[in-house]
């Protein structure tokens, strides 16, 4: 917790100060680069099914 002290008429008054959140928007790109699982990936086309005439070659 953070406190701020004020001197008023010879008395010290303490008040609690809530810290503001730091602006991290400039770091968002760096956070994104640390996570390869979040990178956009181009989908590869699926393999075409093997024609029935050639299926016997793989059995």
The pLDDT of residue 47: 79
- Cα(first)–Cα(last) distance of the chain, in Å? 72
Question: What is the mean predicted confidence (pLDDT) over 17-28?
Answer: 79
| Strand 2-8 to 11-17 pairing | antiparallel
Residue linked to tokens 């016997």:
56
Write down the mean pLDDT value for the chain: 78
Which tens digits make up the pLDDT trace of 23-50? Answer: 877 776 666 777 777 777 777 778 788 7
- Answer with the residue of higher pLDDT: 3 or 31: 3
Does this model's pTM top 0.75?
no
d(CA 2, CA 16): 6
State the Cα torsion 7-8-11-16 to the nearest 10°: -60
């Amino acid at each position: 917790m953070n406190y701020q002290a004020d001197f008023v008429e010879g008395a010290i008054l303490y008040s609690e100060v809530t810290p503001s959140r730091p602006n991290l928007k400039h770091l968002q790109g760096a956070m994104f680069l640390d996570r390869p699982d979040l990178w956009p990936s181009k989908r590869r086309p699926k393999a075409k099914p093997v024609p029935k005439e050639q299926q016997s070659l793989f059995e």
